[in-house]
Structure 1
Amino acid sequence: MGRLVIVSNRVPDPRERNKPAGGLAVGLADALRTEPRCLWFGWSGKQTDFVGDPEPSLDEHGTVTYATIPLTPQQHRGYYQNFSNGILWPLCHYRLGLMNYGRSDWHQYLEVNRMFARTLKPLLKPDDIIWVHDYHLFPLAQALRELGVTAPIGFFLHIPFPPWSLFRALPCADALLEDMQAYNLIGVQTEEDCQNLWECMRIENETDASKVVACPIGIDPVAFAEEARDSDNGLEVKRLRESLHNEPLIIGVDRLDYSKGLEERFLGYERLLTRYPEHHRHVTYLQVAPISRGEVEEYRQLRRQLDETVGRINGAFAACDWTPIRYLTRPVQRQVLAGFYRMADVGLVTPLRDGMNLVAKEYVAAQNPDDPGALVLSHLAGAAPELGEALLVNPHDADDIADALHQALTMSREERKRRWNALNLEIRNTTAGTWARDFLAMLHRSRREGTA
């Protein structure tokens, strides 16, 4: 049996402890544990002035070989900042107004994908099976095919995929869809994403619908629940608990990104305090939002806007012994967050658009079964179809968020337990392990069936 070869834009450093874990790293951790041999290939996060194809650096840890390459400043700017995060990210999150297309960036995006293919090919062995991840690498399979690679290649998109009415705004949409035909299997998070991608391919006369499947990603809920219990008595959790003086806590945890709906969320909390004054001095909202892509002007503007909104709300409602919003823009260790989730009475997860949102699933997993909190969740998050017993809201409606927060804060323990039991069952049925197992099983079948 051949190796699993994982390809992603960024490869995590296996030596780095307490690093933030995104959806890709969380989901793949289980696959790495169960695969007898694995190669993980991608960008190291470093830059170089060397011109030409770099030599991959190899680092073996257990059964996994990490193979990483640097990018030049020009490649980083054109492929990563400008096209991947300046074009594809806003497009796939339905934010056309934030796109800034430049043909030179498109060519740089294609060339870096070809460079990835050229440097990966010598590392491949017979019977390898290749699993490519996320929007940075849409054209990679085609680049590998052009070099003669015949191995089965799967692709998984961790962010949403928009409908044709939006995707067609990308000048190179047809070329990107054509390149994606080189994959044997394409996985997306939800049935809506699946239908959107399938419709785009149908319109472009690419009609093999069996290549596109909905395969939602999950977490390891058992391990995360244990982590939450263990950290419940940690120093940071104790300090937070003592500072609340037995009053309820609402928690939100997101990267500082315009797709997360943080401004709209703050306005919803403000509306709670306006319409339900009984919560004054009796609830605290903690928002953890580590700075993301701080070199990009749109993100700097977003940070300034959020700083102003938080300051205005706190200035209007705070008392000498109560701050309505506690706002952190630095990372918090994952195990500490697990303890924060467990003690929080309400999990507030209201993205404007999200591929999945594993924070919602982590919040559910972390709860005390005897006295669980309530989850307020955007119906535009990829997790919403699975987590129907959450309090689902429209993230654009401040009053809807306020009403859901009030309902969550006043919900009986019996109702919270009933909802949590259903949510917990769901996250235990669809885990990181089932996601990786199911996708790879379909990809292995494509090898046996000889699909192209």
Structure 2
Amino acid sequence: MSRLVVVSNRVAKLDSTKSGSQGGLAVGVAAAMSKAGGLWFGWSGKIESAQRSEARVETAGNIDYATVSLNQVEYNQYYKGFANSVLWPLFHQRPDLMSYREVDFEGYLSVNEKMARLLLPLLRPDDTVWIHDYHLIPLGGLLRRAGITCPIGFFLHIPFPPLDLLRTVPRYRELITALMEYDLVGFQTDVDYRGFQFSVVYGLGGEALPDNCFRYRDYECKAGVYPISIETDTLREVGKTGEASEEFKRLEQSLTDRQLIVGVDRLDYSKGLPQRLRAYENLLRTQPEFIRKVVYLQVAPVSRGDVKAYADLAHQIDEQVGHIVGTYADFDWVPLRYLNRGFRRNTILAMYNLASVGYVTPLRDGMNLVAKEFVAAQDPDNPGVLVLSDMAGAADELDAALLVNPYDSEQVTQGLAEALSMPLAERKERWQSMMAVLRDNDIHHWQERFLEDLGQFR
């Protein structure tokens, strides 16, 4: 039987209760690998000056974890530089925050070459290699040129940009060509797939062939839509274990029957937190019947704090939070609780179940597993309501949520008011519709679909 080899920027050992601040890639890949097992290869997250000539391998259960370190220059150029100061803002439609330097692009290529070099000794002829996300776009081609012939697939967890945005990267054709070197390329949504199709045909001058295949010169690949998901049927039980945590008990006791609005996001400009806070303040200002009746809890662990755009965002949000609390708080009520730290995943899931409203309004998001986890954590007899940005990939599947345009503050405010006032029968109907979707496409179905299609290239 073929061994699954997963390659991602970071390797994260997760269990079902660990930190809720982990991103969708770490949670999704860990859940998928828990069933299949195999080798998980990537960066350890450590910056070390001494360079090892081989990956460090540890085994836990049915997974071998192989990790490599980066030195400070590699981190600055590959991770902080090109990956997160060019690709991340660009793919999330924020070219104004992009900071391109040729030295960073070269560093990006160099680290991918290092990853390929250290992965090669660990590979077997019958492996299936599945590479994840924007940090490692060139890796598949590097493995091919090193002689690897087994199936190699790539999955992009974040959005794929329109060609007009992609062209703002000076060497964008190299990125598209690198994707063409995979057997199978997976995207979250049809919009992302169409962006790739347009880029191949008009950006490279390639061809779109039948059966979702593409050709450019000697390169030929297949692409498809594979929306990532969650462990749908187990999250409710995991959330129940979180009700025993001290944090949950204190939160529940402090609400004193007030309705809870909850948001959980990494502190990132793609998540639309300033716009979200503005809409909530607008709710308190224009619909005073909610004053003292609701509490908004926003969990936002710091993300990439050494990148200037993130430091600027943190300062802006701190000012907004202070303004809302200072304007509307009373002796025995604070309308907004803002926490810059993560919590155990089971505690977060318990908080979702306690909440009347899940507040998930990114400006752009590849999928957003918080939206799916909020739905799966609900009590079937008394479910909360999901207010969801139509700019999140999850909106394609969770169309029974209250979908809002995150740029339209008044519409988001109205969505909050509607969610807080929604009758039980409608809440149940919407929840049942979304749960049916999540049961049909859970994390294991996502993995099986992708790997089955990738297996056709063996």
TM over 0.5: yes
The question of whether the paired residues in 2 share the 8 Å contact of 1:47 and 1:72 is answered with: yes
Q: How far apart are 1:423 and its partner, in Å?
A: 1.0
- Residue aligning to 1:169: 168
Kindly provide the CA deviation profile for residues 22-48 of structure 1, in whole angstroms up to 9, marking residues without a partner as x: 21222223432332x511111111122
**Distance in 2 of aligned mates of 1:162 and 1:122:** 34
**In structure 1, distance between residues paired with 2:71 and 2:58:** 21
Report the alpha carbon displacement of residue 96 of structure 1 after superposing the two structures with TM: 0.2
1:244-286 Cα distance to aligned partner (Å, 9 max, x none): 1101010000000000000000000011111111101111100
Q: State the shift of 1:238 in Å.
A: 2.2
* Structure 1 contact 14–61 (Cα < 8 Å) conserved: no
In 2: Cα distance, 1:58 partner to 1:65 partner = 7
Structure 2: which amino acid aligns with 1:165? D
Alignment of 1:70-109 (within 5 A): 70-109=69-108
CA contact (8 A) 2:161 2:192 kept: yes
- Contact in 2 for aligned 1:24/1:158 (Cα 8 Å): yes
Matches within 5 A, 1:385-396: 385-396=396-407
Return the alpha-carbon distance in structure 1 between the equivalents of residues 389 and 252 of structure 2.
Answer: 27
The residue correspondences of 1:353-364 to structure 2 (distance < 5 A) are 353-364=364-375
Which whole-Å CA distance do the structure 2 matches of 1:159 and 1:64 have between them?
Answer: 25
Aligned equivalents of 1:15, 1:446: Cα separation in 2: 32
Structure 1 residues 343-382: aligned runs within 5 Å: 343-382=354-393
* Corresponding residue for residue 286 of structure 2: 275
Q: Is the 8 A contact 1:27 1:433 kept in 2?
A: no
**Is 1:68 equivalent to 2:61 in the alignment?**
no
Q: For the residues of structure 2 that align with 1:196 and 1:278, how far apart are their CA atoms?
A: 44
Q: Is the 8 A contact 1:30 1:436 kept in 2?
A: no
Decide which moves more: 26-35 or 142-151.
26-35
Deviation of 1:16 after TM superposition, in Å, equals 12
Q: Quick check: 2:130–2:154 contact (8 Å CA) kept in 1?
A: yes
Query: Aligned to 2:340, which of 326, 329, 346?
Result: 329
Q: Secondary structure of 1:315's partner?
A: helix
Deviations 1:110-167 (A, max 9, x none): 1111111111111111111100000000000111111111111000000000110111
Task: Give a deviation string over 1:392-444, Cα, whole Å, max 9, x none.
Answer: 00101111111011101111111111111101111111111110000000000
**Correspondence for 1:2:** 2
Other-structure match for 1:182: 181
Q: CA deviation at 1:21?
A: 3.2
Counterpart residue type for residue 50 of structure 2: F
Aligned to 2:137: 138
Is contact 2:367-2:392 (8 Å) kept?
yes
Do 2:301 and 2:342's aligned partners in 1 also have CA atoms closer than 8 Å?
Answer: yes
Does 2:398 correspond to 1:399? no
Q: For the Cα contact (< 8 Å) 1:188–1:194, is it kept in 2?
A: yes
230-239 vs 315-324, which deviates more? 230-239
Q: How high is the sequence identity, in percent, across the aligned residues?
A: 47
Work out whether 1:18 is the aligned partner of 2:18: yes
Report the TM-score, using the length of structure 1 for normalisation. 0.96
Which amino acid letter does the alignment assign opposite residue 183 of structure 2?
A: N
Q: Matched residues in 1 for 2:2 and 2:411: separation?
A: 51
8 A Cα contact 1:217 1:435, kept in partner: yes
Q: Indicate the SS of the match to 1:108.
A: helix
Instruction: Give the AA of the match of 1:21.
Output: Q
Match of 1:450 in 2: none
Counterpart Cα distance in 1 of 2:396 and 2:18: 31
Task: Give the match's secondary structure for 1:370.
Answer: coil
Q: Shift in Å at residue 290 of structure 1? A: 0.4
Q: CA RMSD in A?
A: 1.5
Ranges in structure 2 where 5+ consecutive residues have no aligned partner:
214-221
Do 2:269 and 2:313's aligned partners in 1 also have CA atoms closer than 8 Å?
A: yes
**Aligned counterpart for 2:331 among listed residues 320, 327, 348:** 320
In structure 2, distance between residues paired with 1:114 and 1:382:
31
Task: Summarize deviations over 1:53-87 as a string: whole Å, max 9, x none.
Answer: 63111111122111111111111110010100010
* One-letter amino acid of the counterpart of residue 187, structure 1: G
* Contact 2:14–2:30 (8 Å) recurs in 1: no
Aligned residue in 1 for 2:303: 292
User: How many angstroms apart in 1 are the aligned matches of 2:295 and 2:182?
Assistant: 48
> Does the C-alpha gap of structure 1 residues 439 and 336 become closer, same or farther in structure 2, counting only changes over 3 Å?
same
Residue 39 (structure 1) aligned with residue 39 (structure 2): yes
Q: 1:231 aligns with which of 242, 253, 265?
A: 242
Report the equivalent of 2:216.
Answer: none
2:351 to 340, 349, 367: 340
How big is the shift at 1:200?
0.5
- Quick one: distance in 1 between partners of 2:332 and 2:241? 30
Q: Which residue of 1 aligns with 2:218?
A: none
Q: Structure 1 residue 17: deviation in Å?
A: 7.8
1:233 and 1:248 mapped to 2: Cα distance?
Answer: 20
Amino acid at match of 1:29: A
Distance (whole Å) between structure 2 residues aligned to residue 233 and residue 14 of structure 1: 20
**Counterpart amino acid of 2:82?**
F
2:444 to 433, 438, 445: 433
Structure 1 counterpart of 2:230, from 215, 219, 226: 219
How many matched pairs?
A: 445
